[in-house]
Amino acid sequence: MDFKEILNKKKGLINQALEKYLPERSPYPQSLTEAMRYSLFAGGKRIRPVLCMESCRLFSSDETDVLPCACAMEMIHTYSLIHDDLPCMDDDDFRRGNPTCHKKYGEALALLAGDALLTLAFHLLTKLQSKNAMRVINEVSDLVGGGGLIGGQVADLQGEKEGGDREKSLHYIHLNKTAKLIIASVRSGALIGGAGRTDVLNLTVFAENLGYAFQISDDILDVTGSKEELGKSPGKDKEQDKLTFPSLYGLERSREILCQKINAAVEILKPYGKKAAFLYALTKYVGERKS
């Protein structure tokens, strides 16, 4: 099987589990379920849940806890995209080639669908059986809270208007807005798998490099990609005068930094050998992705 086939198989598993945790008929108001499912099943690449599962698989083959945790990561990711697309934030009409959640369901329901996905994610995490369950919940809440994902989003919104040390701001934004959820996915998977201290630390450095790489490639694609490839309008960063790698360093230097981050990430995987073969391929894919 090649990389894409294995990725699709893993995505299939995740989609099945997401169906179980958020079925068409849920106890929520029907309109809320619909809006949540609209974004959750809109064709995302499922990178974060796959990273969570694969990080666990380095240490254990037991999937009892990692699948719900992987789904929680995708729910947090989807909530952040729904909120980011709102008119009060990035104001986007399209995501993954379809109208954004608020364009389809209105702003109030989109906001609440995001809230409910975030809440459901933590509900899933409370069901973890792992001895590291409380640690996972503690870490994930830190990594996606005010000192992580949300803090990064705030800096991103303010970065458009404020001066200051642009390089420092750019690194703060990318680390928090993008890398921290990737770090959360990798660390929680590793902790559920029973990884020891050194492995958790190594994989954190792996995830940080991958997270940066992911955002740098996103910044580059916003300059070079087409609407068809991206499923959203390119050129928005420039339009909104966003602080990005290409805006600060230019395209060529950004591509070099992307390459350095990918190389640093795969280097960390080498000692894990065959068990990390898929993570290795996934990391390379992030460096070359077109969407």
Residues that bind ligand GRG (CB under 6 A): 44-45, 47, 80-81, 83-84, 96, 149-150, 153, 177-178, 214-215, 218
Q: Are 51 and 189 in contact (CB under 8 A)?
A: yes
For the bound state, the minimum distance from the C-beta of residue 62 to ligand GRG, rounded and expressed in Å, comes to: 26
Integer CA distances (angstroms), 83 to 36, 63, 228, 244, 248, in order: 12, 30, 23, 20, 26
**Closest to 59 measured CA to CA, from 264, 205, 199:** 199
Please say which residue, 133 or 207, places its beta carbon nearer to ligand GRG: 207
Please say which residue, 51 or 190, places its beta carbon nearer to ligand GRG: 51
Please say which residue, 81 or 195, places its beta carbon nearer to ligand GRG: 81
For the bound state, the minimum distance from the C-beta of residue 253 to ligand GRG, rounded and expressed in Å, comes to: 19
Please say which residue, 177 or 187, places its beta carbon nearer to ligand GRG: 177
Please say which residue, 80 or 132, places its beta carbon nearer to ligand GRG: 80
C-alpha to C-alpha distance for 126 and 123, rounded to whole angstroms: 5
For the bound state, the minimum distance from the C-beta of residue 230 to ligand GRG, rounded and expressed in Å, comes to: 9
**Nearest residue by C-beta to ligand GRG?**
44
Please say which residue, 9 or 41, places its beta carbon nearer to ligand GRG: 41
For the bound state, the minimum distance from the C-beta of residue 125 to ligand GRG, rounded and expressed in Å, comes to: 18
DSSP assigned state of 98: E
For the bound state, the minimum distance from the C-beta of residue 153 to ligand GRG, rounded and expressed in Å, comes to: 4
Counting Cα atoms < 13 Å in the Cβ hemisphere of 179 gives 22
For the bound state, the minimum distance from the C-beta of residue 274 to ligand GRG, rounded and expressed in Å, comes to: 26
What burial class does residue 152 get, using C-beta atoms within 10 Å of its C-beta: 0-12 exposed, 13-18 middle, 19+ buried? buried
Output the six-digit token pair for 287. 């460096």
**Closest to 54 measured CA to CA, from 40, 43, 76, 69:** 69
